[in-house]
Amino acid sequence: MTQMMTSPPSSPSSHLPATDDAAKRAVLPLLPTEERPGFHWRPGIRAVLDIGSTKTTCLIGRGTGNGRLQVIGWGWRRSEGITSGAIVDTSRVEAVIRAAVGDAEKQARRRIDEVIVNLSCGNPQSYHIDTAMTPGGREVVTKDVKMLLENARRQAFYETRSIVHTLPLGFNVDETPAVPDPCGHQCNYLLGKFHLIDANTSALRTLSTVLQRAELRLAGLVSSPFASGLSVLDHDERDLGVTVVEMGAGTTSLAVFSHGRLLHTAQLRIGGYHITRDIASALSVHTDVAEWLKTMHGATQLIAEDEHHIIRLPIAHGRSTERISRARLVSIIAPRIEETLEMTRHHLDNAGLGQLADGRVVLTGGASLISGLGPVAARIFGRQVRMGQPYNIQGLPESSSISAGFSTASGLLAWACGADDAFCLAEEKQPPSGLMKRLVHLIRKHV
């Protein structure tokens, strides 16, 4: 039988993942692009920054009249000084941010001075809090709702943690549950249900300081899996119930949506870079070569031809060129993929959400592009799975087939342009001025 042989290029990290049509057919199709003629974005140009473990992305863009987002400038660089979403070297992170933002500014032909950033540092935690009051039969007003929200924040206060999101899940008005907006109702008892996400205060201060050194202001924080859900889900999915699994390089994060609300988020310290390290260790190759092997030849399931698909490795330590079968490569990748998905399923099973976490799973993020992932995930989760990519957005730096690596950045831009209105209560129109006041405002108020 004829053997197929391929060899790596001189710059492995510059190559992009191959697609697998058979794997795509095994899972649900991608959602079509939607037109939203009745939706109006906020006016103006917005800038966002997705600081990932292996890639830092800056998008500058705006909302258009037909409900789409338009990217007018982008920049992305290989991340340095980030481990599993946490900042470990501030100088290197600052340099990467400056480079990515500078590239985006050149394309957009404008300077930016503030950005909305993804929340992945500070060990984010997600939990629910209920607070109640007794209006005494009078009409509920906005002040009452804000009081419930502030009570929830006070209950959640912990000295070393800062609240990033306080998202309403619904209100009980006397015996009537699940009221989205209680204002205008007359009742004797009002219960507010809130979803809070917090993070380590010191980590947030470090992030703000790094941005300040890069001559940027922190305009807001958005949970990374929350942002991914904004970019890859449509309204019906968020209403019926869905779990977004964002498979990044250093972390795998998830967000559970139901009834149009964000119910739960989590972040696991395992991702695509762990697969790269497994390959590098098992085959004694450089991590750049391991990354190339993963993206160009990697898969999650063996097929008959893999034994005869031979991959040529570069010369190392003066030895002649080595060859491995694709079957050997898959045997390294598959266990780590299954471990990652099993850990995610275990967390979902123990999140206390019951049937609310039983909906479809949408996989996104750069590590989700490995061939054959959909069917493996469907088997492990025991439910429908589809591959997710940003929609309703134009001008991303990569083609639609591999744009899943920009899901978080796209969701951040959607949030900045007005998607937050569907999830948050109205708060003060303008944050306080001054760096320290702005930081205190951000870490005490929801974004």
- DSSP one-letter string for 231-246: HH--HHHHHH-EEEEE
Tokens, residue 277: 């390290």
Q: What is the pLDDT of residue 200?
A: 95
Nearest to residue 396, comparing CAs of 33, 43, 83, 80?
33
Q: What is the pLDDT of residue 441?
A: 55
Task: Count the Cβ atoms, other than its own, within 10 Å of residue 325.
Answer: 16
Name the residue ranges covered by the structural domains of the chain. Answer: 1-29+235-390, 126-196
Q: What is the pLDDT of residue 397?
A: 84
Q: Average pLDDT in the 328-333 region?
A: 95
* Alpha carbon distances (Å) from 175 to 104, 172, 186: 52, 7, 12
Say which amino acid occupies 102: G
User: For the segment 210-239, what is each residue's pLDDT rounded down to a tens digit?
Assistant: 999 999 999 999 999 999 999 999 989 999
Tokens, residue 360: 């479809």
- Per-residue confidence at 257, pLDDT binned at 50, 70, 90? very high
Q: What is the pLDDT of residue 316?
A: 63
For residues 257 and 244, the answer to whether their CB atoms sit within 8 Å is yes
Q: Average pLDDT in the 98-126 region?
A: 96
- Per-residue confidence at 40, pLDDT binned at 50, 70, 90? confident
Residue 178, CA atoms < 13 Å, CB-side half-sphere: 4
Asked if CATH classification 2.30.40.10 holds for the domain at 1-29+235-390, the reply, yes or no, is: no
- DSSP one-letter string for 316-366: -TTPPPPEEEHHHHHHHHHHHHHHHHHHHHHHHHTSS-GGGG-SEEEEESG
Helix (H, G, I), strand (E, B) or coil at 435: helix
User: E strand or H helix at 258, and its extent?
Assistant: strand 252-258
Residue 13 has pLDDT above 60, yes or no: no
Helix axes 201-213, 435-444, angle to 10 degrees: 140
For residues 316 and 285, the answer to whether their CB atoms sit within 8 Å is yes
Q: Considering the domain delimited by 126-196, tell me its CATH architecture.
A: 2-Layer Sandwich (3.30)
- Per-residue confidence at 357, pLDDT binned at 50, 70, 90? confident
Q: What is the pLDDT of residue 12?
A: 34
| Average pLDDT over the chain, rounded to an integer | 86
Q: What is the pLDDT of residue 5?
A: 44
Look up the pTM and report it: 0.85
Q: What is the pLDDT of residue 137?
A: 94
User: Cα-atom radius of gyration of the chain, to the nearest Å?
Assistant: 23
Tokens, residue 416: 């900045």
Q: Average pLDDT in the 69-88 region?
A: 93
Q: Average pLDDT in the 33-43 region?
A: 61
Nearest to residue 392, comparing CAs of 235, 184, 159?
235
For residues 309 and 325, the answer to whether their CB atoms sit within 8 Å is yes
- 344 burial level (CB within 10 Å; 0-12, 13-18, 19+): buried
β-pair type (55-63, 114-119): unpaired
User: For the segment 382-441, what is each residue's pLDDT rounded down to a tens digit?
Assistant: 999 999 999 889 999 876 556 888 999 999 999 999 998 888 875 533 444 444 455 555
Q: Average pLDDT in the 346-361 region?
A: 90
Residue 96 has pLDDT above 80, yes or no: yes
Residue 4 has pLDDT above 60, yes or no: no
